[in-house]
């Protein structure tokens, strides 16, 4: 099986909240679902939000545009939810990346996606509550509204990963099969090689197993990770309780005089 398996701490730790007094020239890399927005029953239930838009705009000004959203969602979906307020975006776990200058780097779809699209779509048609999502470079089957189907969904996704070479990415009540070649950690590293992120200290904030690559990259490159949600084994160094706490921390960052932008 080809699977995304980031290394995590062996035990869950009740981490402290992240600091407000950050290193010089910080850069923020932020997940969306479960981090900047609450997890909803359906992905389409998440939409633009005035509080989130305001804090992101102030952070971009404060940090001289060193703010990126790094998410499993598609680029058009992120632009809709964020109201076009963030230019630097890594979508579909880094398979699509838009730079601060507006250029888009996108991998080619893996040929195995055709089989995965057909089989996962058929599963969704057969079981009420399952939600199929097609992101072009990946396909996902959400079972949040059909938790009894978890084992069957994961088993089907594992078989497809083995037969096609697609990367299996397990998330919060979702199994996703994606084109190999990038992850959230490699997206962070790529941003840090480009203006305005060059020389910045990376801070990655996320909630899910899909964010562990981002946490690991931030630590490796001299920064840290912030877990949003309940304590669990993780590569993050700090923790906040969830999206409301994340937005509160970001609002304080945006206004504190201790941050050196």
Phi, psi values for residue 144, rounded to 5°: -60, -35
Alpha carbons 119 and 196: distance in angstroms, whole number:
42
The CATH class, in words, for 113-178 is alpha beta
Q: Count the neighbouring beta carbons within 10 Å of the beta carbon of residue 162.
A: 13
Taking a C-beta distance cutoff of 8 angstroms, is the pair 92, 135 a contact? yes
* Entry pTM: 0.89
Share of the chain above pLDDT 70, in %: 93
Mean pLDDT lowest among 13-17, 74-78, 127-131, 152-156: 13-17
Q: Where in the chain is the domain with CATH 3.30.70.1020?
A: 113-178
Taking a C-beta distance cutoff of 8 angstroms, is the pair 134, 188 a contact? no
- Catalytic residue numbers read 31
Mean pLDDT of the chain: 91
Q: In what side-by-side order are the strands of the sheet with 89-91?
A: 104-106, 96-98, 89-91, 67-70, 26-30, 201-206, 224-228, 238-240
Alpha carbons 189 and 195: distance in angstroms, whole number:
12
Q: Where in the chain is the domain with CATH 3.40.50.1000?
A: 26-106+182-255
User: Where do we find the tokens 């040929």?
Assistant: 111
Mean pLDDT confidence for 35-49: 93
Is 3.40.50.1000 the CATH classification of the domain at 26-106+182-255? yes
pLDDT at 6 over 80: no
């Amino acid at each position: 099986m080809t699977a995304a398996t980031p290394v995590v701490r062996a035990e869950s730790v009740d981490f402290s909240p992240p600091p407000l007094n950050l290193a010089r020239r910080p850069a923020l890399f932020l997940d969306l679902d479960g981090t900047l927005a609450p997890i909803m029953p359906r992905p389409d239930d998440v939409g633009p939000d005035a509080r989130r838009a305001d804090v992101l705009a102030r952070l971009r000004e404060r940090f001289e545009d060193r703010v990126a959203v790094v998410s499993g969602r598609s680029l058009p979906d992120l632009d809709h939810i964020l109201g076009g307020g963030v230019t630097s975006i890594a979508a579909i776990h880094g398979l699509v990346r838009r730079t601060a200058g507006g250029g888009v780097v996108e991998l080619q779809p893996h040929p195995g996606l055709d089989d995965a699209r057909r089989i996962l779509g058929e599963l969704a048609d057969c079981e009420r509550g399952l939600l199929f999502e097609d992101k072009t470079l990946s396909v996902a089957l959400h079972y949040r509204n059909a938790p009894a189907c978890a084992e069957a969904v994961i088993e089907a996704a594992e078989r497809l990963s083995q037969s096609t070479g697609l990367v299996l990415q397990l998330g919060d009540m979702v199994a996703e099969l994606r084109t190999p070649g990038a992850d959230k950690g490699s997206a962070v590293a790529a941003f840090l090689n480009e203006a305005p992120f060059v020389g910045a200290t990376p801070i990655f904030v996320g909630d899910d197993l899909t964010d562990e690559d981002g946490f690991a990259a931030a630590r490796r490159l001299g920064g840290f990770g912030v877990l949003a949600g309940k304590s669990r084994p993780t590569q993050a160094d700090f923790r906040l309780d969830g999206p409301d706490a994340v937005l509160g921390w970001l609002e304080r960052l945006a206004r504190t005089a201790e941050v050196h932008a």
